[in-house]
Amino acid sequence: MIWQPKRFCAYCGAPLYPDGEGAGRCATCATTFYDNPVPAVAALVRDAAGAILLVERAREPQAGRWALPGGFIEIAESTADALRRELREETGLEADRVELIGIEDEPSRRYGRVIVVCYQVAGYRGEPVAGDDARALAFFPPGALPDLAFVSHRRFIEQAIRSG
């Protein structure tokens, strides 16, 4: 699937026409629709030796490739709440405390553009077990990371390593 701008009104179904400012305007009810980036979160989890937890993705986009645990933010969630939910769903871990690492954005053929908020998990409970969104999970030493699914995840890891 390749991202495409919205073509029809979500309220009345009429065609949208360009408004000249990057949005679509409904020909019937005059509602304006913006094609906004999709917000997501990523979790950077380290074990006692400093190895980084990665999940092998079970679903598109990038199925079969390794990534930080994470996913899309649901409408009623804060970024930290979304991170805790995604971490629990994908790894079975419960985050005790999270610290913001940074925010990155990257183009996406499927979603247009994704904005990713990454947190370092400072303490967690449980034993990591791959959830339904993950084929597998493993801790990798920072110098032996596999090819990652998303450029933003590599940047987050590099930033965390530089910060100590």
Which three-class secondary structure string do you get for 65-125?
Answer: CEECCEEECCCCCCHHHHHHHHHHHHHCCEECCEEEEEEEEEEECCCEEEEEEEEEECCEE
pLDDT in tens, 84-109: 999 999 999 999 999 999 999 999 98
pLDDT one-digit tens code per residue, 105-129: 999 988 889 999 999 999 999 999 9
User: For the chain, which domains are there?
Assistant: 1-35 (no CATH), 38-163 (3.90.79.10)
Cα–Cα distance between 23 and 76 in angstroms, integer? 24
In angstroms, the CA 98 to CA 96 distance is 7
Q: What is the pTM of this model?
A: 0.88
Preceding peptide of 69 cis, ω within 30°: no
